[in-house]
Amino acid sequence: MLSPFLPASRATGCPASPPASAWRTDVPPPEGLACSLTVPGEPYSGRIARSTVTAALRAHRLDRFVPVAEQVTGEMVAAACHLNPGQELYLSARYRDDALRLIVYDGHASHESPRLAALCEARRRSALRLLAVIVRECGGAWGFGDSREPGGGTRTWVTLPRKGAHAYWTPQRPA
């Protein structure tokens, strides 16, 4: 149907969708993993974030990352909710260069007062103690600091190398 607001010569149809038989059904490569999600800064958001990361990893055949990624994601989201309650959190998961990188952005801006900034940093480090142990055991890296995003806030990140993450969750046989 032509729009009564546009002249007939300017009306165009949308391009036709390709037939369902043309859609790709193969499994995407691991290097194609690029997933992001915004969740509320509420306690239940940890479960949503963990489930989303798990589904993305499994879709890209990165199943061996699932146990450690679930734990790390839960820790980052819990800390962000605790330090910035009720505010939105942004989660990003990417797989590049044989490593999984998880990032959580929260709106907690750095403090002007050096004393308050130091207290806040100590509080965040304390909230992320378990995360630090897991990442260290996997041979990965983690950190937090000011967000480079326009809205400001804090960016917490983790990098988990494939080899270390797989070894961390491989059951050890008794000697």
Domain boundaries, position 60: 30-165
- Residue 121 belongs to a domain: yes
Render pLDDT for 13-57 as a digit per residue (tens, 0 to 9): 677 777 766 666 677 888 889 999 999 999 899 999 999 999 999
CATH number at residue 85: 3.30.565.10
Does some domain include residue 4?
A: no
User: What contacts 23, CB < 8 A, 6 or more positions away?
Assistant: none
Dist. CA 72–CA 142, nearest whole Å: 10
Q: Record the pTM.
A: 0.80
Distances (CA, A) of 175 to 38, 95, 136, 138, 172: 45, 35, 24, 22, 9
Instruction: Kindly tell me if the per-residue pLDDT of 74 is higher than 70.
Output: yes
- pLDDT at position 7, please? 54
168 or 63: whose pLDDT is higher?
Answer: 63
> How far apart, in whole angstroms, are the C-alpha atoms of residue 80 and residue 43?
10
Which tens digit of pLDDT belongs to each residue from 91-135? 999 999 999 999 999 887 777 888 988 998 899 899 999 999 999
Asked if residue 17 is part of any domain, the answer here is: no
**Domain count along the chain:** 1
pLDDT grade for 145, boundaries at 50, 70 and 90: confident
d(CA 28, CA 39): 25
